[in-house]
Amino acid sequence: MGQRTPLYDLHLALGAKMVDFGGWDMPLHYGSQVEEHHQVRRDCGVFDVSHMCVIDVAGSQAKAYLQHLLANDVEHLQLPGKALYSGMLNQQGGVVDDLIVYLTGCSAQEPGYRLVVNAATRAKDLAWMREQSADFAVELHERSELAMLAIQGPQARAKTAELVTQARAALIHELKPFQGLAEGDWFIARTGYTGEDGLEIMLPADQAVAFLNDLVGAGISPIGLGARDTLRLEAGMNLYGQDMDDSVSPLAANMAWSIAWAPASRRFVGRAALEAQQAAGSQPKLVGLVLEERGVLRAHQVVRVAGVGDGEITSGSFSPSLGKSIALARVPAQTGERAEVEIRGKWYPVRVVKPSFVRHGKALI
């Protein structure tokens, strides 16, 4: 038996099929993974993401600490609540984890930040963050008393705003993309992991069951891990442990856009390794694959690029939105527009595309 979120019993009451996910008992689906996927693309649905790890960073050197810790630069966070996606790297340039960081404190002298990191890497992340904090006047506070619900889809904000207090509804309507702000003991963010608009709401765990009941009672369907995976794959979003890990450079995981190289004086952890990798030009790239024939692309299948070399699928599945199989794959940098994938001993042609397939309900391929 794994760890359980505060919503475990409610998931069972709603008919969820539960599975182990990184040591947590989580809902895989509530009947139909495909229908849940379409529900999010066309309307909205709610995910229990209370297994995610929330860490608040405070202290007079919080900003300097995060500028050392993260590949992206928190200097970009100028407005209260603004959020930033970043990799947290090791000295070899591998990805310890990918995360979102919010500016939560407004004081220029002592700003505060909130980090949301992956559940399966919680212990490793906290150990690494504490090790890197040794030379900084900073405090790390894990907020294990919080639950988190993600309401995602084109109708997510409008429908959620009808169920909360007037002040929270006003905040939901005012939030800009990639911004999160507190309202009372709730923290409401306009981020997500599906390629759709939506919210992630952090709230006291003892309020989570009632709020999820309100959402479901208003016709917002609960969504499981199965649809969460196909939604994020269609959106071209990485899954830690599949598309990157401690041994993979962000340059090889379609994360180069999240590295802040300027100013050159900011020597973040892993920078020297990334600079050496850039100079060598030896890193593969993460691309999208589309299978035009019948079949299913799966992780670890071999990708063959004629005259160039081999690669490997990191994530693959059938895309409910596109009606065909898609994948993310790490391939040689010289890979062009065509490749082949080995499926059960046979080679199938695939189209190589940018690693993003569906956003805001629209096909990008």
Contact 223, 15 (CB under 8 A): no
Q: What is the pLDDT of residue 145?
A: 97
How many angstroms from the chain centroid is the CA of residue 269? 21
Q: How far apart are CA 328 and CA 289, in angstroms?
A: 6
> How far is residue 106 from each of residues 78, 79, 80, measured CA to CA in Å?
9, 8, 6
Query: Would you list the DSSP string of 111-172?
Result: --EEEEE-STTHHHHHHHHHHHTTTS--EEEE-TTEEEEEEESTTHHHHHHTTS-HHHHHHH
Q: How far apart are CA 243 and CA 252, in angstroms?
A: 9
Q: What is the pLDDT of residue 106?
A: 64
Beta bridge partners of 183: 186
Contact 40, 153 (CB under 8 A): yes
> How far is residue 190 from each of residues 94, 212, 227, measured CA to CA in Å?
28, 18, 20
Burial 207-244 (b: 16+ CB within 10 A, else e): ebeebbeebbeeebbbbbbbbbbbbbbbbbbbbbebbb
CA-based torsion, 293, 295, 298, 300: positive or negative: negative
Which residues lie below 8 Å from residue 93, measured CB to CB, with a gap of 6+?
249, 250, 251, 270, 273, 274, 277
- Residue 120's identity, in one-letter code, is A
pLDDT (tens digit, 0 to 9) for every residue of the chain, 365 residues total? 789 999 999 999 999 999 999 899 999 999 999 999 999 999 999 999 999 999 999 999 999 999 999 999 999 999 889 999 999 999 999 999 999 999 998 666 678 999 999 999 999 999 999 999 999 999 999 999 999 999 999 999 999 999 999 999 999 999 999 999 999 999 999 999 999 999 999 999 999 999 999 999 999 999 999 999 999 999 999 999 999 999 999 999 999 999 999 999 999 999 999 999 999 998 999 999 999 899 999 999 999 999 999 999 999 999 999 999 999 999 999 999 999 999 999 999 999 999 999 999 999 99
Query: Would you list the DSSP string of 214-249?
Result: HHHHTT-EE--HHHHHHHHHHTT---BTTTB-TTS-
Rounded to two decimals, what is the model's pTM? 0.96
Give me the torsion for CA of 209, 214, 219, 223, rounded to 10°: -20
Q: How far apart are CA 264 and CA 235, in angstroms?
A: 32
Q: Residue 317 burial (CB < 10 Å; 0-12/13-18/19+)?
A: middle
